[in-house]
C-alpha cells in the first residue's frame, strides 16, 4: 500500500484507500456543509461530505426555476417574425383530465362552453397549464429555449369514462436573438438558463459523489 503522506487536518496516513478529498467533493462541502478548513481526507471529511450530499436536493434551484418557466415562449406561430432560430426537435405531451361532476350532468360540450359547468372549464384550463409545463420541461431538456408551431388538441367530451385528453405538439427551437422577446423576458430566459446549468452541475456532482463514496467505501 503506497504511503503518500499524512492528512494535514487529522494527521492520519494517506494511502490507496484514504485520500485527500478532491476539488469537486470539497465544492459540495463548501456549498452544503461549510467548514473552517477544507484540507480534508476521506477519514476526517467523509462525514461532512455525506451531510453535504444529503442537502443537494434542497439547493432551492428547482423552486427558482418553476416561476421562470412562465416566460418560456410557447407560440402557435410557425415562423415568428424576426426570430433567428435553429430547430431542435419535435415535442409532444398530453395530460388526461377527469371531467368528474361534469359527467353527472350529462351536459354537452357546447352547453359547458356556454357557462353551465364552469368547473369543467377550470379543469380544462388547468389541464392545458399542466400540459404546457410538461412540454416546456421537455423542450428545456432538449436544449431549447422556445417552442413554436404549437398546436393544442382535445379529445373526448367527458362523456364515456369522463376523461378528456389534452395534447400539445410543437417544435422546440433554440432562439438565437433573444432580444426579440423584449428585455424582461430575455432576462428571465437568461436566468432560466443559468439556473438549469447550475442544476445540471449539481446533478453531475451528485453522480461524482456517488462514484467517489463507493470507491472509498464512505457509505
Ligand atoms: Zn483527515
Which grid cell is 69?
Answer: 418557466
What domain range includes position 91?
A: 71-181
CATH of the domain at 130: 3.30.110.70
Q: How far apart are the first and last CA of the chain?
A: 22
Which grid cell is 118?
Answer: 364552469
Are the C-beta atoms of 19 and 39 separated by less than 8 Å? no
Regarding whether 177 and 97 lie in a shared domain, the answer is yes
The reply to whether 23 falls in a domain is yes
The reply to whether 65 falls in a domain is no
Residues with CB under 5 A from ligand 1 (ion): 7, 9-10, 41, 43-44
pLDDT band at 106 (very low <50, low <70, confident <90, very high): very low
Taking the whole predicted model, whether its pTM rises above 0.85 is answered as: no
Q: Give the distance (Å) from ligand 1 centre to CA of residue 203.
A: 26
Share of the chain above pLDDT 70, in %: 88
Per-residue pLDDT tens for 40-95? 999 999 999 999 999 999 999 989 998 999 999 999 999 999 999 999 999 999 99
> What is the pLDDT, as a whole number, of residue 37?
95
Regarding whether 31 and 18 lie in a shared domain, the answer is yes
Q: How many whole angstroms separate alpha carbon 72 and alpha carbon 76?
A: 13
Per-residue pLDDT tens for 135-152? 999 999 999 999 999 999
Number of domains making up the chain: 2
Amino acid at each position: 500500500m503506497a504511503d503518500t503522506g499524512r492528512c494535514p487536518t487529522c494527521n492520519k496516513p494517506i494511502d490507496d484507500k484514504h485520500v485527500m478529498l478532491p476539488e469537486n467533493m470539497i465544492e459540495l462541502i463548501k456549498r452544503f456543509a461549510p467548514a473552517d478548513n477544507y484540507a480534508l481526507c476521506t477519514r476526517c471529511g467523509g462525514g461532512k461530505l455525506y451531510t453535504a450530499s444529503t442537502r443537494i436536493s434542497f439547493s432551492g434551484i428547482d423552486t427558482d426555476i418553476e416561476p421562470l418557466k412562465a416566460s418560456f415562449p410557447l407560440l402557435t406561430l410557425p415562423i415568428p417574425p424576426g426570430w433567428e432560430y435553429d430547430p431542435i426537435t419535435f415535442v409532444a405531451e398530453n395530460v388526461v383530465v377527469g371531467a368528474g361532476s361534469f359527467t353527472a350532468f350529462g351536459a354537452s360540450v357546447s352547453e359547458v362552453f356556454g357557462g353551465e359547468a364552469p368547473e369543467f372549464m377550470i379543469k380544462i384550463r388547468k389541464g392545458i397549464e399542466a400540459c404546457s409545463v410538461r412540454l416546456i420541461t421537455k423542450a428545456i431538456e432538449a436544449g431549447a429555449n422556445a417552442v413554436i408551431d404549437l398546436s393544442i388538441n382535445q379529445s373526448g367530451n367527458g362523456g364515456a369514462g369522463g376523461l378528456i385528453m389534452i395534447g400539445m405538439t410543437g417544435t422546440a427551437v433554440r432562439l438565437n436573438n433573444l432580444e426579440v422577446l423584449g428585455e424582461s423576458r430575455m432576462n428571465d430566459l437568461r436566468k432560466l438558463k443559468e439556473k438549469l446549468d447550475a442544476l445540471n452541475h449539481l446533478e453531475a456532482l451528485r453522480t461524482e459523489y456517488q462514484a467517489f463514496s463507493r470507491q472509498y467505501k464512505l457509505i
